[in-house]
Chains A and B, each alone.
Chain A
Amino acid sequence: MTPTLTISRLTKHFHSVEALNQVSLSLQPGKRAALLGHNGAGKSTMMKIILGLIPFDSGDVTVCGEAPGSAAARMQVAYLPENVAFHPALTGEEQIRHYLSLRGENPRNAPELLARVGLAHAARRRIGTYSKGMRQRVGLAQTLIGRPRLLVLDEPTSGLDPVSRRDFYDLLDGLSADGTTILLSSHVLTEVEARTDSILILSGGQLVAEGTLADLRARAALPIMLLVRPAAAHAAPLAAAFPEAVVGADGLLRISCAQAQKLPLLARITARGADVADFDVIPPSLEDIYSHFSRRDGQ
């Protein structure tokens, strides 16, 4: 299958600051990729280059087989900018009608698009009266116009409440099932973890990690935390049996172990029988993995 988006050795400078350095990646149709990174890591710059909004210094970028920003590419790409803004004097419906016309679609579809993002009730109110979350939904509605092949979403869920976020990711699931490739950036790692196929971590303008969450977890090889709750009055013998454990103020034993030591450790815990009331295995969170990769660069 031809990738929807291919980037190879992309480099971009802003005066003397290196915004992107030798970034290469490719996204297949229907894949959902999350772009993670600190503020200033180069996420928005990369998105703007993919959209053809700003030029780049060297490397190759191909969007749906076309040059970024060309008329043919713009027909197939939809964008949601960070802090999306609209003219406050227009109503949501008028704004979406305008965007539909620009994409050569029937403007009469505007109410239906707004209903899909839960804005049917406010369609005829001016955007100037909307809350940030409502403006964000207008922004989402305009990305749904004309079945784009690539969606570029910069912080799409900022300003949305938890229920709207879930609805939003449900929308994305439907789109990617139809073959739309989705590239989104987010600071909310937990939702990215559950709702995307692969993760790209940018740090200081470089792509420091790329892969599925399981890949990254294996590569980072971060320790796993086991929490063991001793049975009543069995705390002392249990603590003696696991000298490597840290006993917390709550009485729980915290044992950190490498991936490979997980099963042997579990066997030791179960061998204690009645000493153990309960235990939990806590894998490294996406936050831990993210900090691991983005810190490696000296950040």
Chain B
Amino acid sequence: MSRILATGITEFRISFRNRWVLIATGMMVLFALVLAAAGSAPTGDVGVDRLSVTVASLTSLAVYLVPLLALLMSFDAVAGEVERGTLPLLLTYPVSRLEILLGKLLAHLAILALAVTLGYGAALVVAIWSDPGAIEGIGSLWRLIWSSVLLGATFLGAGYALSALARRPSGAAGLAIALWLVAVVLYDLSLLALIVTDGGGAFTTQALPIALLANPADAFRVFNLSAGEAVAAAGGIGGAAGAVPLWQSATSLFAWPLLAIALALAAFRKVTP
């Protein structure tokens, strides 16, 4: 445990020096503020408090931004150590590969948690400033924060796995961007295309819920939208959120980080320095 903590502290320090803390927080705050400002224009004909509406749009933001930040922070984790030549020495220390990965995860999760808390917090301030009643939606904001951290953990683990597979930072960066495009952008586009062609048939009722749960980003979106009261405020894939029970999306949200870390460990074990 102390070795995980020591690795985490060192990794956090490195990320801080590399401006990653600043970049991640800056991006989250900026985008959250833009969304909060845009969301405060129409008045409450949705019938819920303003914060819940903001949370619905923040969810759509987080689906894109949190995986991106997580992959950007993690793609260098193993490949960078290989390229710098720091890995052989590290592996002669009495620290297991799992402890090394968990230490890095701890640091990167702390940065993500800080970034989303500050970002969503900024949106909260804006929402309460324009409508004091918005405080009622604080529960959904809290849910958004911890589920964002879980979503981040999944993509951090995936990033470590790609980093260990590629063994070179340039290759790992390419794989990370490809994963982001496929998992976050193309997956949803293909689902939408299938829904349109299916026209409410067997695919939409049977396969779609499973397809949504199988992708951590969609599970995150479905979880936050169906848990919140603002499903109606969300469009697109989010509209299907009602079809998936809450416990299923929550299970997917909790299971994915474990699976991703297991994959990362398996890939890291194959790296010989």
Contact = CB atoms under 8 A, between A and B. Distances in A.
| Main DSSP-derived SS at the B contact region | helix
Interface string A98-114: 11011110010000000
Interface stretch (B21-29, B41-49, B90-98): B90-98
A163 B84 CA distance: 28
B6 interface: yes
B110 to A, nearest CB: 17
B92 A77 contact: yes
B10 A103 contact: no
Contacts of A79: 88-89, 92
Contacts of B9: 98
Contacts of A77: 92
B14 interface: yes
B1 to A, nearest CB: 11
B2 interface: yes
A98 B94 contact: no
B47 to A, nearest CB: 51
Interface string B237-273: 0000000000000000000000000000000000011
A259 interface: no
Interface stretch (A83-91, A223-231, A278-286): A83-91
Chain B interface extent, by class: 20 to 34
Interface centre among A51, A102, A104 (most CB of B within 10 A): A102
A60 to B, nearest CB: 20
B3 interface: yes
Interface centre among B3, B6, B17, B93 (most CB of A within 10 A): B93
Interface string A71-95: 1001101111101111101100010
B18 interface: yes
A99 B93 contact: yes
B139 interface: no
A78 B90 CA distance: 11
B143 interface: no
| Main DSSP-derived SS at the A contact region | mixed
Nearest to B10: A98
A53 interface: yes
Interface in A30-83: 48, 51-55, 71, 74-75, 77-81, 83
B85 A75 contact: no
A99 B84 CA distance: 17
Contacts of B14: 87, 89-90
B86 A85 contact: yes
A278 B187 CA distance: 90
A81 B94 contact: no
Nearest to A85: B85
Contact of B89 (A81, A94, A101, A104): A81
A53 B89 CA distance: 9
B13 A81 contact: no
Given A98-B10, A102-B6, A74 B88 contact: no
Interface in B57-112: 84-86, 88-89, 91-96
Contact of A103 (B7, B86, B91, B93): B93
A148 to B, nearest CB: 10
Given A54-B272, A87-B14, A90-B14, A102 B95 contact: yes
Contacts of B95: 102
Contacts of A52: 92
B92 A83 contact: no
Given A53-B92, A102-B94, A89 B17 contact: yes
A85 B5 CA distance: 22
Interface string A228-249: 0000000000000000000000
Contacts of B96: 71
A236 B102 CA distance: 82
B94 A71 contact: yes
A90 B93 contact: no
A137 B265 CA distance: 32
Contacts of A85: 84-86, 89
Contacts of B86: 85-87
Contacts of A89: 13-14, 17-18
Interface of A: 48, 51-55, 71, 74-75, 77-81, 83-87, 89-90, 94, 98-99, 101-104, 107, 139, 142
Given A51-B92, A85-B86, A139-B89, 18 more contacts: A48-B88, A71-B94, A81-B88, A85-B84, A85-B85, A85-B89, A89-B14, A89-B18, A90-B10, A94-B13, A98-B10, A101-B3, A102-B6, A102-B93, A102-B95, A104-B3, A104-B94, A107-B6
Interface of B: 2-3, 5-7, 9-10, 13-14, 17-18, 84-86, 88-89, 91-96, 272-273
30 contacts: A48-B273, A51-B92, A52-B92, A53-B92, A53-B273, A54-B272, A74-B94, A75-B94, A79-B92, A81-B88, A85-B85, A85-B86, A87-B14, A87-B86, A89-B13, A89-B17, A89-B18, A90-B10, A90-B14, A90-B17, A94-B10, A94-B13, A101-B3, A101-B5, A102-B6, A102-B7, A102-B93, A103-B94, A104-B2, A104-B94
